[in-house]
Amino acid sequence: MDKKIKMRAEGVNFFYGRTQALKNVDILIHANQVTALIGPSGCGKSTFIRLFNRMNELVPDTSLSGNIYLDDLEINSAQIDPVEIRKRVGMVFQKPNPFPKSIFDNISYGLRVNGVRDANSIEERVEASLKKAAIWDEVKNRLNDSALKLSGGQQQRLCIARCLAVDTEVILFDEPCASLDPISTAKIEELILELKKDYTIVIVTHNMQQAARVSDYTGFFLLGELIEFGKTQDIFTAPQDKRTEAYITGRFG
Amino acid sequence: MFTTLFFLGLIIFFVGVRGAKVISWEFLTQIPRCSMTQGGVAPAIVGTLYITLGAILFSLPLGVACAVYLCEYSPKGFMVNIIRISINNLAGVPSVVFGLFGLAVFVKFFGFGVSILSGSLTLGILALPLIISSTQEALLAVPQSIREASLSLGATKWETIKRIVLPAALPGILTGVILSIGRVAGETAPILFTAAAFYMRGYPKSVFSEVMALPYHIYALMTEGVHPDRQMAIAYGCSFILLFLVLSISGIAIIIRQKQRIQHG
Ligand SMILES: Nc1ncnc2c1ncn2[C@@H]1O[C@H](COP(=O)(O)OP(=O)(O)OP(=O)(O)O)[C@@H](O)[C@H]1O
Ligand SMILES: [Mg+2]
Q: Is the pLDDT of residue B1 over 80?
A: no
The DSSP output letter for A149 is G
Q: Is the pLDDT of residue B13 over 50?
A: yes
pLDDT classification of B245: cutoffs 50, 70, 90: confident
* Angle between helices B166-186 and B214-223 in degrees, nearest 10: 20
Q: What is the pLDDT of residues B207-232, one digit of tens each?
A: 788 888 888 888 888 888 777 777 88
Residue B238 resides in a domain: no
pLDDT classification of A2: cutoffs 50, 70, 90: low
Residue B175 resides in a domain: yes
Interface predicted TM-score of the whole assembly (ipTM), two decimals: 0.92
Residue B211 resides in a domain: yes
Mutate to test the pocket of ligand 1, among A12, A47, A252 (most ligand atoms within 8 A of CB): A47
pLDDT classification of B122: cutoffs 50, 70, 90: very high
Residue B122 resides in a domain: yes
Domains of chain A: 5-97+169-248 (3.40.50.300)
Mutate to test the pocket of ligand 1, among A46, A91, A226 (most ligand atoms within 8 A of CB): A46
Q: What is the pLDDT of residues A44-98, one digit of tens each?
A: 999 999 999 999 999 989 999 999 999 989 999 889 999 999 999 999 998 999 9
Q: Is the pLDDT of residue B88 over 60?
A: yes
Task: Determine, for residues B264 and A163 on separate chains, whether the beta-carbon distance falls below 8 Å.
Answer: no
Task: Determine, for residues B145 and A93 on separate chains, whether the beta-carbon distance falls below 8 Å.
Answer: yes
Residue B126 resides in a domain: yes
Task: Determine, for residues A86 and B263 on separate chains, whether the beta-carbon distance falls below 8 Å.
Answer: no
Residues 6+ away with beta carbon under 8 Å from B219? B188
B8 in contact with A, Cβ within 8 Å = no
pLDDT classification of B87: cutoffs 50, 70, 90: confident
A16-30, B86-100, B121-135, B212-226: range with lowest mean pLDDT: B212-226
Distance from CA of B143 to the nearest CA of A (A): 9
Which contiguous run of DSSP H or E holds residue A171?
strand A170-174
The per-residue pLDDT for A253 is 47
DSSP string, B105-144: IIIIIS---SSHHHHHHHHHHHHHHHHHHHHHHHHHTS-H
pTM over 0.95, yes/no: no
Higher pLDDT among residues B170 and B255, named by residue: B170
Q: Is the pLDDT of residue B49 over 60?
A: yes
Share of chain B above pLDDT 90, in %: 31
Q: Report the C-alpha gap between B241 and B15 in whole angstroms.
A: 10
Task: Determine, for residues B264 and A148 on separate chains, whether the beta-carbon distance falls below 8 Å.
Answer: yes
pLDDT classification of B262: cutoffs 50, 70, 90: low
Compare CB distances from B148 to A55, A147, A148 and report the shortest one's residue.
Answer: A55
Looking at chain B from residue 98 to 157, which residues have their Cβ under 8 Å from any Cβ of chain A? 143-156
Q: What is the mean pLDDT of chain B?
A: 86
Share of chain B above pLDDT 70, in %: 96
Residue B35 resides in a domain: no
Compare CB distances from A87 to B145, B154, B164 and report the shortest one's residue.
Answer: B154
**Sheet with A62-70, side-by-side order of all strands:** A19-30, A5-16, A62-70, A73-74
Query: Which residue range is the domain that position B103 belongs to?
Result: 53-219
Q: Report the C-alpha gap between A135 and B83 in whole angstroms.
A: 48
Task: Determine, for residues B153 and A113 on separate chains, whether the beta-carbon distance falls below 8 Å.
Answer: yes
Residue B48 resides in a domain: no
Q: What is the pLDDT of residues A117-143, one digit of tens each?
A: 999 999 999 999 999 888 999 999 999
Cα–ligand 1 centroid distance for A194 (angstroms):
30
Q: Is the pLDDT of residue A252 over 70?
A: no
The domain that holds B166 is classified in CATH as 1.10.3720.10
Contact list, A83 vs chain B (CB under 8 Å):
151, 154-156
* Angle made by CA atoms B78, B80, B83, in degrees to the nearest 5: 115
Residue B150 resides in a domain: yes
Number of domains in chain B: 1
Look at residues B188, B170, B181, B186 and name the one whose alpha carbon lies nearest to residue B250: B181
Mean pLDDT, rounded, for B11-21: 83
- Which residues neighbour ligand 2 (ion) by CB within 5 Å? A 46, 94
